[in-house]
Amino acid sequence: MCGDSHLPAAPESADRVAIIHPSSESSFRGRLRLSNRAEGATTTTLQCVDEWTGICAANARLNVRIHKFGQPVSKGPSSISSAGSSSSSGSDSESDDDCDLSNPIVHSFFVNTKTGSRSGGLRLDLGVGGEGVVGRTVSIFDSRSRKILGEGIIGWS
């Protein structure tokens, strides 16, 4: 046998990250971290870049949306129109019916930008393929302005 097949699989508790890049109508930048190190729901933290610390503090709770595919969500205007779709997760999003039908939302939950948060009681699969989140697009949505602030692709830390 070749390689390290005698080693155990990588732990499911490893962190995943997404570098959040601004949408076409925003200059928001940040770093989203997902972790299953603690028992229960996935722990989520969003670190905002300096110039956005004010909006992160003001909003305190931004909506994290994990999409089905790893393609960009905000190709045109980043304002979301009602499309009549719903999230498959039972999480605490205000308006899961607002999404781009070409890349539907599979998980949606709020993150407290000051303290971090749990993913709406949901333990996310931090793996690849199937229900895993690695390789999927994540968008940060401001429900006050009803705009996507930024987006990125979930990967390993």
- pLDDT band at residue 97, thresholds of 50, 70 and 90? very low
CA 131 – CA 124 distance, rounded (Å): 8
Element spanning 34, H or E: strand 30-35
Residue 99, CB-side half-sphere exposure with 13 Å CA sphere: 29
Tens-place pLDDT, residues 47-72? 888 666 666 776 667 899 999 988 88
Where do the domains of the chain lie, and which CATH numbers do they carry?
Answer: 16-156 (2.60.40)
Nearest to 119 by CA among 106, 129, 110: 110
Tens-place pLDDT, residues 109-133? 988 887 777 666 789 999 998 899 9
Kindly report the pTM of this predicted structure.
0.75
